[in-house]
Structure 1
Amino acid sequence: MKEKEHQSIEWKESWQDEYLKWICGYANAYGGTIYIGTDDDGNVVGIDNARDLLERIPNKITDTMGIIVDVNLLYKGELEYLQIIVDKYPSLISFHGKYYYRSGSTMREITGKELERALLKTQGRTWDGVPLPKLSVSDLKQDAIQLFKDKAVKRGRLTKEEVSVEDTILMDNLHLIDEDGYLIRAAMLAFYKDPEKWVTGSYIKIGYFGKSDSDLVYQDEVHGPLIEQVDKTVDLVYTKYMKALIDYEGVQRIEQFMFHKDAFREILLNAIVHKDYSSCNPIQISVYKDKIYIWNDGEMPPNLDSTDKLFMKHSSKPYNPKLANIFFKSGMIEAWGRGFEKIREACALYDGPLPEYEINEAGIMVLCKACDRYLRLLRDDGQHPEHHPNQNGQDVNKLIIDFCKDPKSVQEIMDEFDFDSRTSFRRKYLTPMLKNGVLKMTIPEKPSSKNQKYFS
């Protein structure tokens, strides 16, 4: 025998009843084979009671697990040994009321949320596909459904004709009604006015932190249908929590955020569709002056366990596929895993770093660092927030006008009057003077030209 022991093959010198757990684990995983009467290298050493075990083992398996396996008597010379072939079973198998699973080279008991998912999987369901008998279509929030319709038509995911149907038909077309006519959890999360009535923690928590992780300055919570939570959260973060710093390109005023809004939106949507809602923990967004953390108690597919892998081309396997389909049909997320490419493209617009993902048993933590341009503006704004050179009390505007009788560059003006912050100088002096017409550009058709100068 030359087969190598691996996750689907085990070599055992003698039979022990504890191997029934291994058989249970094989049945719940991908099937496997156990050889009785071999050493750890697969060499046949034989067993004396092979014929007795040939009868007893199948009976033990049937009595304790209710499944049938193939037990074969094999020979090598005069040595007898057994081969036990276990098929993968479509339904979850228990042994003495416990469930086991073969993972790699180990056998482990599955419990809790993992057991619930495994049970659902054997039924061809996911957590978000479980029906809710006491929820009806009339209980859903009309504004949330209308928001979905508007977005779906605007993005071309559905036609006006497809959304101009009764709500029950729309829900059925979105596969949100099961075979018995019940709405499923995904419909409740997306469209019910208060999903927390059914699932604790189905909201988003936002906090602004100061000098340390314990320095919580202020916080908010976003509740309601998930389809509404997205825009509300993005708007709240980018109006209340994230400070836009002002920069200029020529006379053009630019609001610079630390992280591109489109990238943030995609990360938030990923958190919503990959979250494990059975954990009862809200999505948490922690905002600092130069970074953002976005955490959700969820999982990514096993093959996507690092930042590098996530930003490579990959298939889309959302943790909550029914919920993800709602957001896809609304046009809010992309199919085929293109959401991460959109994040990359948005970060490139700011010439900023890609978000960093930490994926483990504690959930998914995403770190979004501020782009260099924002950090520079933040540094300038923080070091010289109120820098007003006054030239011994004289009118600075008048001094600049006198100095610019001959054309001068921005740097020449700043050097002459000891301005430290280019941003502050443009905001407080140059831009107002250009608007008032007391200063003019030498190249007005190219405001951002590196050769631009200003004269009075």
Structure 2
Amino acid sequence: MINLSKMIENGESEKIEFKNSLSLHNPIYTAISAFSNKNGGSILVGINDNKEVVGVSLGKNTLENLANEIQRNTDPHIFPTITVLKKNNNNVVIIEVEENEEKPVFFRDKAFIRVGKTNQKLSSSEIKRMILEGHSGVYWDEKICENALKDDIDVDKLKWFVNETNKQRNRDLDPELSIEETLSKLDLVKDGKLTNAAVLLFGKDPQRFVRQAEIQCGRFKGTKAIDFVDRKTFPGNIIDQRTKAIEFVKDHINLKTTIVGTERIDEWEYPIAAIRESITNCICHRNYKLSSNIQIRIFNDRLEFWGCGPLPEHLTVEDIKKPHNSHPRNPLIAKRFFDIKFIEHWGTGIERIIQSCLKAGLPKPIFEIKAGDFVVILNKYKITDEILRELNKRQQKAIDYLFLENRITNKEYRSINIGISRSTALNDLKELVDKGIIALEGSGPGAHYILV
């Protein structure tokens, strides 16, 4: 818990900086760069140099705009924790910045580092040195988990894993080996100490060391994230988290059963393969240094899977839709998930999500960055054969296009139906709107249609 009075009393230091106004954009971003490149720290906005609380005024979107501006002005992007506390009836904004795993962090092509109470600009040679150190090849999940001991490992879960990987991948790990020997063969110890991956995979209480390593699941009423119907938070090891999160989703989506001849066929309204892959993706690719949790949001019309943090810097949303090499943020966790077939093949997860949705007759999933997090969205609506038979060939082409691209314009409608006029396209699209199959969004040059 933040002790604001104590922080103000102690004054500025290597980990604390005061600013009297949110309008001091450049000094704030400079401090964020400096803290990110050192040991982290906090910026208290609304406190002047004399430790006096002057407060700041907050509008409806002030904090959201601040977070977006910090992200936009830092490279690699920084996602600090921003909170507001009251002191003497004044608002004090606290921007908590963690040491960044990827260094150096730049602000407007310049990088800074915290030295005592000051933010010093890094020289070109210091930047090169920091880049070389950053490419040492040590990922967060491979680092030592300080204070974690052998007794913190759940022996039963470790033995289960050994038996499972022997069965799934034809390995020959000896289940009678000691904890130390087993973890060593799985590359989960370093210099005789447990790694972060070891604690997350097999810890009795991983949240004692990585508090934010949880999955939050929520079923909302309707189509907006306002009113909960049900919600649960799953702590514990990440193997069990995955299983419980999948079960939570299954508890809140529909299962249709049909009998064909003597065969019973169960069909979920969303493909389970896509759900499994999306949750696995969140666990393997999340940034465990961020204070937020993985979130799974269930609405009447869609599922949303929110990872923690964006894609790796060298990948874009468009890149991951194409064949690509696997770039897990936590490769050690990903390897152990592969051992027990939570991951089937390297670099195929996104394609499996896409294909399983299309095979189920659902629209192509949406992949995007929201508020700094990578989000996978599975939309539910399905166009039946009966509905398609009522449409003309042009409209059927448009539905196929919408399944793949999620949106279509009048111009795009004409491009897939060569030779038709603008008015014909408009009439076709209007008919689809009237049937409740698509909806018009936007106006003017930005007008487009989506499935509803």
**TM-score, structure 1 length as denominator?**
0.54
- Pair 1:254–1:323, CA change in 2 (3 A): same
> In structure 2, how many angstroms separate the alpha carbons of the residues matched to 1:123 and 1:303?
17
Residue of structure 2 aligned with 1:309, choices 309, 312, 319: 319
Distance 1:348 1:154, change over 3 A: farther
For the structure 1 residues 274 and 374, does the alpha-carbon distance in structure 2 shift closer, same or farther, using more than 3 Å as the test?
A: farther
Distance between the aligned counterparts of 1:187 and 1:289, measured in 2?
37
Cα drift, residue 185 of structure 1: 0.6
1: CA distance, partners of 2:185 / 2:327: 21
Q: What is the aligned partner in structure 1 of residue 238 from structure 2?
A: 226
Q: What are the equivalent positions in structure 2 for 1:390-429 lying under 5 Å apart?
A: none
Which of 322, 341, 358 pairs up with 2:332? 322
Asked if 1:300 is matched to 2:303, the reply is: no
Match of 1:213 among 197, 222, 225: 225
Residue matched to 1:436: none
For the residues of structure 1 that align with 2:161 and 2:149, how far apart are their CA atoms? Answer: 18
Question: Offset at 1:142?
Answer: 2.1
Structure 2 residue 253 is matched with structure 1 residue 242: yes
Over the matched positions of the two proteins, sequence identity in percent amounts to: 26
Aligned residues of 2:273 and 2:356 also touching (Cα < 8 A)? yes
The alignment yields a C-alpha RMSD, in angstroms, of: 3.4
Specify the SS of the correspondent of 2:289: helix
Per-residue Cα deviation, 1:208-263 (whole angstroms, up to 9, x for no partner): 1112321211111222111121122212221x211223456567554332211011
| Match for residue 198 of structure 1 among 204, 209, 231 | 209
Q: Equivalent residue of 1:279, what SS?
A: coil
Please tell me whether residue 186 in structure 1 is matched to residue 197 in structure 2.
yes
2:142 aligns with one of 121, 129, 134: 129
Unaligned runs of 5+ in 2: 1-29, 38-102, 115-126, 388-452
Whether 1:152 aligns to 2:165 is: yes
Distance 1:135 1:189 in 2: 11
Contact residue 220 and residue 229 of structure 2 kept, 8 A: yes
Report the CA distance shift for 1:271/1:160 in structure 2 as closer, same or farther (over 3 A). Answer: same
Post-superposition offset of 1:297? 1.3
Structure 1 pair 120–368 and aligned structure 2 pair: CA distance change class (3 A): farther
Show CA shifts across 1:119-149 (max 9, x none): 9735542222221242223321123213322
Question: Which region of structure 1 is more displaced relative to structure 2, 360-369 or 203-212?
Answer: 360-369
Q: Are the equivalent residues in 2 in contact too, given 1:359–1:365 (CA < 8 A)? A: yes
Give the superposition deviation at 1:309. 2.2
Q: CA separation in 1, counterparts of 2:289 and 2:385?
A: 39
Q: Contact 1:286–1:293 at 8 Å: present in 2 too?
A: yes
CA distance in 2, matches of 1:201, 1:332: 22
Aligned counterpart, 1:290: 301
- Work out the CA distance in 2 between the residues paired with 1:192 and 1:267: 23
Instruction: State whether residues 190 and 226 of structure 1, in contact with CA within 8 Å, keep that contact through their aligned partners in structure 2.
Output: yes
Conservation of the 8 A alpha-carbon contact between 1:136 and 1:183: yes
Which consecutive unaligned segments of at least 5 residues does structure 1 have? 1-20, 29-98, 378-456
**Offset of residue 347 of structure 1:** 2.1
Q: For residues 179 and 316 of structure 2, what CA distance do their matches in structure 1 show?
A: 39
Count of residue correspondences = 274
| 1:174 corresponds to 2:186 | yes
Matches within 5 A, 1:34-183: 106-109=109-112, 121=134, 123-156=136-169, 158-178=170-190, 180-183=191-194
What CA distance in whole angstroms lies between the structure 2 residues aligned with 1:168 and 1:291?
44
Note the 1:353-368 alignment, pairs <5 A: 353-359=363-369, 362-368=372-378
Write the letter of the residue equivalent to 2:160. Answer: L
Kindly tell me: are residues 176 and 259 of structure 1, through their superposed partners in 2, closer, same or farther at Cα, counting changes over 3 Å? Answer: same
Separation (CA, whole Å) in 1 of partners of 2:175 and 2:183: 10
Q: Deviations over 1:307-357 (max 9, x none)?
A: x42121111111111221221222211443022232234224312223211
User: Is the 8 Å Cα contact of residues 120 and 126 (structure 1) preserved in structure 2?
Assistant: no
One-letter identity of the residue aligned with 1:310: I
Change (3 A) 1:333 1:100: closer
Q: For 1:161 and 1:185, how far apart are their aligned partners in 2? A: 22
Q: 1:355 to 1:108 in 2, by over 3 A?
A: farther
Query: What amino acid does structure 1 have at the position aligned with 2:140?
Result: W
Give distance in 2, aligned partners of 1:100 and 1:263: 36
Distance 1:118 1:299 in 2: 20
| Contact 1:230 1:269 (8 Å CA) reproduced | yes
Residue in structure 2 matched with residue 47 of structure 1 by the alignment:
none
If the length of structure 2 is used for normalisation, what is the TM-score?
0.54
Match of 1:78 in 2: none
Partner of 2:271: 260
SS of match in other structure, 2:194:
coil
How far residue 372 of structure 1 moved from its aligned partner, in angstroms, is: 0.8
2:304 matches 1:280 = no
Q: Tell me which amino acid in the other structure corresponds to 1:220.
A: K
Counterpart of 2:171, as a letter, is T
Structure 2 distance, partners of 1:119, 1:139, is 34
Q: Quick one: structure 1 residues 246 and 210, their matched pair in 2 at CA, closer, same or farther if it must change by over 3 Å?
A: farther
CA distance in 2, matches of 1:234, 1:148: 19
Rg (Cα) greater in structure? 1
2-structure distance, mates of 1:253, 1:261: 17
8 Å contact 2:145–2:209 — kept in the other structure? no
The SS at the match of 2:193 is: coil
CA, structure 1 residues 147+374, in 2 after alignment: closer, same or farther (shift >3 Å)?
A: farther
